[in-house]
Structure 1
């Protein structure tokens, strides 16, 4: 029987403009292509996992508006279980304004809306039923994330925290966590260590392991990842590709990682699988729309 994975997090609509360069404060630049895509870290990760074949249950909160309705319809088309999604008439669905420059780099401003109204009372115990793995991020209230981590720990659900957007985490927040997946900026915010060398990556990973995490992955963009686990510690390189849009690379990585772990792949192997998925995603525009399907990874590795 396929292991069910639980993703709890945000759902946004991304409004994307491509431009040659980012504007300076007070500057107006003429952009090029405009795209409106489904996004949000939680939703992106849920879709990425589902497209790769995972049995995904997604818990989120949207507004009672056109963006929320479109998001739900998209999740249904992806085969995602959204039985425990809720909506509110008090707040709009989340929106992200994204600018992508000629090098594929992005700048993002998020209006969280209903995402920040997702509280523990919105998530029934049944949402955790039959889940073998869970994945959370920080685009919903911090107290909801902490509560969900505790619920998962009490049910022996292996849990992954993607601590994005980055923020310092309080004492005990990471106790018993199976895996944390910060990028370089998030790692520095959590540990106070600037990860500008492999020695610094090792120190930061040890800091996180000392905070109660069982395994650490620090994502390094085009360079790949740094993994610290019981069986492997060191760099794992990412495939070399020409980036078009890096908007959801981290989300695709986390969703793919969840899929591989649900298939009981060893962590090092799961990381290589996730690096390949993320590399494919940056060659395409958009967030969820950039997430590859399993057959594309098989073709890539042939």
Structure 2
């Protein structure tokens, strides 16, 4: 690992700007067909939202993490803040929005660990560019600024703008896909998308569709660097004219794939902030994501750094 650089404001490696939800899980044998009712095998609730998930993953991977988000004035908000703090995430920039409910997600997980998700943004939609400005004006710039497609478009753009002006590394997980200005894409280092999202982004940009190794190079002509995640197959990346891949890690058994992509993204940002290059950060992130699918839930399934290091050592990925 490279020598760790010093953050602009000591104590903040990664600033996550994004969403926080209360996840409602229903575990089923098989997803219902249209018009069909099925019985749940079990149900549970927990912390969710791409922003919250990625903040927890970054903290578990060893970074000092601040989280900028909006929650409602309800019990779900209090539960979310408690869970974030327990994971080591700094939450003083998680603000209550009176008159709104905390965001929520209905998640069904089948016997094979696959999922479908329906999200209600709730208070997440109230995160404004002025909130981003207040964070930067008060606390300065971290090493890495991370946001996602669940962030309101204007706030996403402002996060990219302020990160660029401050010299921070800007990482965008464009999930779900939304149209963003070309000047935002040009600052992404990296832009992180899965295979389906990559195709959608390429279509919006008028680029040629193709295999991930071809598409990642196309997208890297627009962004500073690009990572396309491939699920169990790992990921591919492109930067400065070079294309490479990172293999996935074998898992004991797939229990729940919910939040595995967020585990990858948050872990990757943490390792970048801690001084690793993009290729090494991708390897760490793949190991972290592989551990997450062996456990139920999203943020609560994320492994501690020592567990990830053990998996890396078992695979011969570190000395």
Structures share a fold, TM > 0.5?
yes
Give 3-state SS (helix, strand or coil) of 2:220's partner: helix
Which residue, 237, 242, 245 being the options, matches 1:235? 245
Structure 1 residues 168 and 185 mapped into 2: Cα distance closer, same or farther (>3 Å)? farther
Mark the CA change 1:78 to 1:199 in structure 2 (over 3 Å): closer, same or farther: same
* Aligned mate of 2:191, from 180, 184, 192: 180
Specify the alignment match of 1:201 in structure 2: 212
Question: Counterpart of 1:45?
Answer: 54
Could you tell me whether the CA contact under 8 Å between 1:167 and 1:186 is conserved in 2?
A: no
- Work out the CA distance in 1 between the residues paired with 2:244 and 2:54: 25
Match of 2:302 among 267, 284, 291: 291
1:15-94 counterparts in 2 under 5 A? 15-94=24-103
Rounded Cα–Cα distance in structure 2 between residues aligned with 1:48 and 1:135: 12
Q: Which of 241, 245, 270 is equivalent to 1:259?
A: 270
Shift of 1:147: 1.1
- Give the one of 150, 157, 160 matched to 2:168: 157
Contact 1:4–1:130 (CA under 8 A) maintained in structure 2: no
Superposed CA offset, 1:57-88 (max 9, x none): 00000001000111111222222222222111
CA contact under 8 A between 2:145 and 2:159: conserved in structure 1? no
Contact kept, 8 Å, 1:6 with 1:128, in 2: the verdict is no
List alignment gaps of at least 5 residues for structure 1: none
TM-score when normalising by structure 1: 0.93
Paired with 2:138 and 2:263, the residues of 1 have a C-alpha distance of: 23
The CA deviation at 1:156 is: 0.6
Q: 2:236 aligns with which of 221, 226, 229?
A: 226
For the Cα contact (< 8 Å) 1:14–1:96, is it kept in 2? Answer: yes
Cα drift, residue 101 of structure 1: 0.6
Q: Distance in 2 between matches of 1:240 and 1:85?
A: 36
Q: What CA distance in whole angstroms lies between the structure 2 residues aligned with 1:75 and 1:17?
A: 22
Give the distance between the partners of 1:232 and 1:110, measured in 2 at CA. 37
Unaligned ranges ≥5, structure 2: 1-5, 315-319
- d(CA) in 2 for partners of 1:74, 1:98: 19
Write the distance in 2 (CA, Å) between the matches of 1:122 and 1:114: 13
Report the CA distance between 1:210 and its aligned residue: 2.2
TM-score by length of 2: 0.89
| Residue 114 of structure 1 pairs with residue 148 of structure 2 | no
> What is the CA distance between 1:120 and its match in structure 2?
1.0
Question: How far, CA to CA, are the matches of 1:184 and 1:199 in structure 2?
Answer: 10
- Equivalent residues of 2:84, 2:91 under 8 A apart: yes
Matched, 1:216 2:226: yes
Deviations 1:28-59 (A, max 9, x none): 01111101010100000000111121100000
User: Is the contact made by 1:53 and 1:294 (CA closer than 8 Å) also made in structure 2?
Assistant: yes
How far the C-alpha of 1:3 sits from its partner, in A, is: 5.6
Aligned residue pairs total 297
Quote the RMSD (CA, aligned, Å).
1.8
Deviates more, 1:144-153 or 1:126-135: 126-135
1:164 Cα offset (Å): 0.6
Give the deviation of 1:175 after TM superposition. Answer: 2.1
Contact 1:9/1:140, CA 8 A, preserved across alignment: yes
| 1:272 to 2:287 alignment | no
Is the CA contact 1:128–1:152 (under 8 Å) kept in the aligned structure 2? no
